[in-house]
């Protein structure tokens, strides 16, 4: 299943290992290392990163949506393409 992670960006839920907050030092290091290796995909459109999706191929995807929002979309089975109200306020 595909889900919308903000600003027209979509990911395959079958490839997601974890959705984490970017605030902790270990996650910041993970993101920095991924950027240095060219394994980071920035889907924030210049907005503040609110969640980091760790993919099974060691890539990380940065999103401007909260982890709870993305997880909720995964659990409810909705793509989220029509639920971008949160993005407009950030």
In this predicted structure, what is the pLDDT of residue 77?
83
Question: Domain of 53?
Answer: 2-89
CA 71, CA 33: separation in Å to the nearest integer?
Answer: 24
In this predicted structure, what is the pLDDT of residue 81?
60
Count up the domains in the chain and report the number: 1
Question: pTM of the entire structure?
Answer: 0.86
Other Cβ atoms closer than 10 A to 85: 7
For the stretch 5-59, pLDDT in tens is 999 999 999 999 999 999 999 999 999 999 999 999 999 999 999 999 999 999 9
Residue 53 class from Cβ within 10 Å (0-12 exposed, 13-18 middle, 19+ buried)? Answer: buried
For the stretch 48-87, pLDDT in tens is 999 999 999 999 999 999 999 999 999 988 766 655 544 4
In this predicted structure, what is the pLDDT of residue 78?
74
């Amino acid at each position: 299943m595909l889900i919308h992670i903000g600003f027209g960006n979509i990911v395959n839920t079958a490839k997601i290992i974890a959705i984490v907050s970017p605030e902790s030092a270990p996650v910041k290091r993970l993101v920095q290392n991924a950027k240095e290796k060219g394994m980071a995909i920035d889907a924030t459109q210049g907005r503040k990163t609110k969640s980091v999706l760790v993919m099974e191929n060691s890539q990380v995807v940065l999103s401007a949506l909260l982890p709870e929002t993305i997880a909720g979309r995964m659990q409810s089975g909705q793509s989220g393409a029509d639920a971008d109200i949160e993005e407009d306020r950030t």
